[in-house]
Structure 1
Amino acid sequence: MTTHQTAQSMAQVPQAQQAPHTARAQTPETPAQPPLQPIPPGDPLPHRKILRGWLEPLVQRTTLYPLLLLVFDYAIFGGLQAGIVFAQSGIVKLVCALVAGFVIGRLFIIGHDACHQSLTPHRRLNKWLGRIAFLPSLTPYSLWEAGHNVVHHGYTNLKGFDFIWAPLSVEEYQALSRPRRVMERIYRSGWGPGLYYMLEIWWRRMMFPSRAAMPTRRPIFFKDCWLVSVFAAVWLAVLVWAALATAQSVTLVLVLGFVVPFLFWCAMIGFVVYVHHTHERVSWYDDRAEWARAQPFVTTTVHLTFRWRFGALLHHIMEHTAHHLDMSIPLYKLEEAQAQLEAMLPQRIVIQPFSWRWYFATAQHCKLYDFKARQWLKFDGRQSS
């Protein structure tokens, strides 16, 4: 399916189908109680409503804590920007720049939750907090909401709808032009997630997208694009002023204060999304009926685990299976929700301890996809395992 066809599919998602992908509406129904014993791996998977019912107590949201998180992360980001300007050591400046990129990722995760209406109980507040949190990553709120909430969460790993890291078949790859095949090889080399996100997602689908990329033309899309553009201009202007005021190289301050953090952020989000949905045990589908029968809300995402509670530094975005099952669970409840889900559904969820060896092995093996055999392939068409 072409980019235009994919964009049309996104634009044609009925409004009735969009509603479930925001925060859950409050109902008077009694939440379903988790079973006393885990469900054996061979038994049928319960309906999604039942699984969501198990996690109903964790959907409760608060206001003060996420506000403090947002203020805290912005304070760190501001401090790192000051470090880039005022530090004497070039190494210290570079470290501040890289950490600033990481903090942009933390702010984005807060905005991601707000965009799902899961950050606080207040819908209007979530929209504003989401826009504020998205500013350093230069992410237009409404366009992210359309592409992520509606399409990615509504049709996770369904080729032709979910366009995030959707693998090509052998036939699709061979039909590409030579330059496009080179780009595909770079993207899936293990070294290219940042380039993929920056070009294929942010530039083509987020920043003033063309009609081919986004056939639906809503005024709010362009307002949000202008909002992040103005923020970027102010950010750059402040850095230029700071460089001149401290008699430093304007180019150096701009590169370390803006370019390096943004590139680090692109690499970070590209990596995160890649490892969430690319794994030898994760299936992709090109038939909607087959996809629906597979109940993919549990089996198409990876729970990537880290040592030393590193996942907490990422606001628990790596507890991704629970997030895909129920997007209304706030980030500060995801760890508990993921643990409960894995206890109730043993051997159903892909749990992967992170290592660079695993990551590059996955990048080596998961290049193309055989949608009939549901098998990852290498670029030459051979089975990867």
Structure 2
Amino acid sequence: MIIPVVNNGRGLGGPIRKQLDMVQRPPETRALAQLLVQYRQPNNARGIFELMITAVPFFVIWALTLVVVVRGHWIGLLLAVPAAGLLVRLFMIQHDCGHGSFFRGRLANDWVGRAIGIVTLTPYDYWRRNHARHHASSGNLDHRGSGDIDTLTVGEFAARPRWRQILYRLYRHPIVMFGVGPTYLFILRHRLPIGMMRNGWQPWLSTMGTNVAIEVLVAGMIRLVGLGPFLLVHLPIMILAASIGVWLFYVQHQFENTSWSRDEAWSFHEAALYGSSHYHLPWVLRWFTANIGVHHVHHLCSRIPCYRLPDVLRDHPELANVGRITLVQSLRCVPKALWDEKERRLISFRDADIRLGRAP
């Protein structure tokens, strides 16, 4: 099997890139997905272990932060960084539960996922359904909007009135995308089943049930430690974890050589493998993010538990170079905001302005 090494150069235009695609991209992505089925079997003991080494340190660090800060040692707020990392890892475990891949039984996955959702402020059943739609349509230009980062093509952006172009630029600004947006998403938007208002009672039950559980937990914590200390400790952790989570989701699909296609040319397996990155992180960050950086494999076979994704790369090292981006390279993804259907790559607003004859 010939697997392409990611093109990190920016000078490869459409014709050259298409030639490379035809030469290097394997046609047997469906067969590859079938090959990965052998990694799908969860291990309950491993799942319990991974949950314990994540949840217990999170609550211990949270309590330690409270004790240190209450005593007036503000430097204790630095503990919000590892606590946020552990909260991200809890969310990734919840994410696996949503795919039914963390434990063997559905009940175990669902109830652990719901319990974690109270801590991550994410209504589990509502999120699971929305996330399934994301997997089913990822990379399809004709079915955008299901759990995706809003992405316009160059043509769509050019056709919008000026005020809507400004709104899209604002939406794509790093302060909004990774600052204001994540806080709004987890603290406010998840309180209502937005996007599924007409899908019956289940999304409402999930969100309202999670809201009630959050209220009970927060009220209990405030009564125990006080409103000020609770907010002082938990808000920085929650806000930081939300920003990290959105960043991970962003960089896993919003890189220059990702894959988007119209409905008639779209293929689930091609979009999964080439529309998702392999975010190659240092081992400490891989642990905190529960290997979610191996995202191309995850999209190709979403039932593989997070703790088995490294096994796939170990047994199939050729997959390590598909969509591979490093931590430093990922920072270059931030300006890429528009899909160029001719060049088949994400480009920046500046590149689009030049293309449209707007730049001086």
Shorter-chain TM-score tier? 0.7 to 0.9
- Report if the CA contact (8 A) 1:113-1:331 is conserved: yes
Give a deviation string over 1:34-53, Cα, whole Å, max 9, x none: xxxx3365266244441123
Query: How far, CA to CA, are the matches of 1:173 and 1:201 in structure 2?
Result: 28
Counterpart residue number, 2:257: 281
Give a deviation string over 1:263-291, Cα, whole Å, max 9, x none: 11210111000110011111323x11112
Counterpart residue number, 2:50: 69
Structure 1 pair 256/341, CA: closer, same or farther in 2 (3 Å)?
farther
Q: CA deviation at 1:326?
A: 0.4
Query: How far, CA to CA, are the matches of 1:187 and 1:97 in structure 2?
Result: 27
1:233 alignment partner, one of 215, 236, 243? 215
Match of 2:266, SS? helix
Q: Write the letter of the residue equivalent to 2:172.
A: R
Q: Which moved more, 1:228-237 or 1:187-196?
A: 187-196
Query: How far, CA to CA, are the matches of 2:34 and 2:27 in structure 1?
Result: 11
Structure with the bigger percentage of helix: 2
Residue 222 of structure 2 corresponds to residue 222 of structure 1: no
What are the residue-to-residue correspondences of 1:70-109 with 2, within 5 Å?
70-87=51-68, 88-109=71-92
Give a deviation string over 1:117-169, Cα, whole Å, max 9, x none: 111111121111111222211111111111112x1111112134242113113
Query: How far, CA to CA, are the matches of 1:360 and 1:182 in structure 2?
Result: 23
- Report if the CA contact (8 A) 2:42-2:102 is conserved: yes
- Report if the CA contact (8 A) 1:377-1:383 is conserved: no
1:165 alignment partner, one of 140, 149, 169? 149
Q: Write the letter of the residue equivalent to 2:346.
A: W
Counterpart residue number, 2:337: 367
Structure 1 pair 182/342, CA: closer, same or farther in 2 (3 Å)?
farther
What are the residue-to-residue correspondences of 1:132-281 with 2, within 5 Å?
132-149=115-132, 151-163=133-145, 164-173=148-157, 175=160, 178=163, 181-182=165-166, 184-191=168-175, 192-199=177-184, 203-204=188-189, 206-210=190-194, 213-244=195-226, 250-251=227-228, 253-281=229-257
Counterpart residue number, 2:114: 131
Structure 1 pair 325/371, CA: closer, same or farther in 2 (3 Å)?
same
Counterpart residue number, 1:60: 41
- Report if the CA contact (8 A) 2:126-2:193 is conserved: no
Q: Write the letter of the residue equivalent to 1:368.
A: L
Counterpart residue number, 1:35: none
What are the residue-to-residue correspondences of 1:293-312 with 2, within 5 Å?
295-312=270-287
Counterpart residue number, 1:11: none
Query: How far, CA to CA, are the matches of 1:293 and 1:323 in structure 2?
Result: 13
Please report the TM-score for the alignment, with normalisation by the length of structure 2.
0.81
Q: Write the letter of the residue equivalent to 1:224.
A: S
Query: How far, CA to CA, are the matches of 1:298 and 1:98 in structure 2?
Result: 32
Q: CA deviation at 1:108?
A: 0.7
Between the two proteins, the alignment pairs up a number of residues equal to 330
- Report if the CA contact (8 A) 1:297-1:324 is conserved: yes
Structure 1 pair 162/336, CA: closer, same or farther in 2 (3 Å)?
farther
Residue 93 of structure 2 corresponds to residue 110 of structure 1: yes
Structure 1 pair 227/263, CA: closer, same or farther in 2 (3 Å)?
same
Structure 1 pair 218/339, CA: closer, same or farther in 2 (3 Å)?
farther
Query: How far, CA to CA, are the matches of 1:258 and 1:231 in structure 2?
Result: 17
Structure 1 pair 177/91, CA: closer, same or farther in 2 (3 Å)?
farther
Q: Write the letter of the residue equivalent to 1:165.
A: I
- Report if the CA contact (8 A) 1:323-1:329 is conserved: yes
Q: CA deviation at 1:171?
A: 5.0
Q: Write the letter of the residue equivalent to 1:133.
A: I
Query: How far, CA to CA, are the matches of 1:169 and 1:361 in structure 2?
Result: 19
Q: CA deviation at 1:176?
A: 5.7
Structure 1 pair 225/156, CA: closer, same or farther in 2 (3 Å)?
same
Query: How far, CA to CA, are the matches of 2:325 and 2:156 in structure 1?
Result: 29
Match of 2:136, SS? coil
Residue 14 of structure 2 corresponds to residue 39 of structure 1: no
Q: CA deviation at 1:372?
A: 4.3
Structure 1 pair 280/49, CA: closer, same or farther in 2 (3 Å)?
closer
Q: CA deviation at 1:83?
A: 1.8
Q: Write the letter of the residue equivalent to 1:209.
A: P
- Report if the CA contact (8 A) 2:77-2:233 is conserved: no
Match of 2:137, SS? coil
Identity %, equivalent residues: 22
List runs of 5+ in structure 1 lacking aligned partners: 1-37, 245-249
Query: How far, CA to CA, are the matches of 1:293 and 1:131 in structure 2?
Result: 29
